[in-house]
Structure 1
């Protein structure tokens, strides 16, 4: 029997500035990653001037998938 592990993501989306502060990444680097599709963001929908929010939930799923564990979301 496999053990179940629960991972809680307290904030599924982070503003770009907060993500950069927490990770130590430069804002220009993160913006470049967003432009070329390496950084998932929340869609802006019909608000093109809305702030940029990094999709931390998607990054977490990607990281877990790369660890070769069975993932059920």
Structure 2
């Protein structure tokens, strides 16, 4: 027998700053920067000295697709 889970997820904003990401996840900033460098956290394209913006919508989608 297969169990089907249904739930709704609301993404309040598609992108967040690194500071906001750390606040929401509890991840430390150095850890986040390493994960971004390794390509583990999706970010938006960046030009020059713009802030690093994390693609929160894609991160949420990836998290939800993980087996549990």
Do Structure 1 and Structure 2 share a fold, with TM-score over 0.5?
yes
> TM-score, with normalisation over the residues of structure 1?
0.73
Match of 1:42 in 2: 44
Aligned-residue offset at 1:7: 3.0
SS of residue matched to 1:40: coil
Q: Distance in 1 between matches of 2:64 and 2:10?
A: 13
> TM-score, with normalisation over the residues of structure 2?
0.78
Q: Summarize the alignment of residues 56-71 of structure 1 with structure 2, pairs less than 5 Å apart.
A: 56-67=56-67
Q: Which runs of 5+ in 2 are unaligned?
A: none
Q: Distance in 2 between matches of 1:6 and 1:26?
A: 28
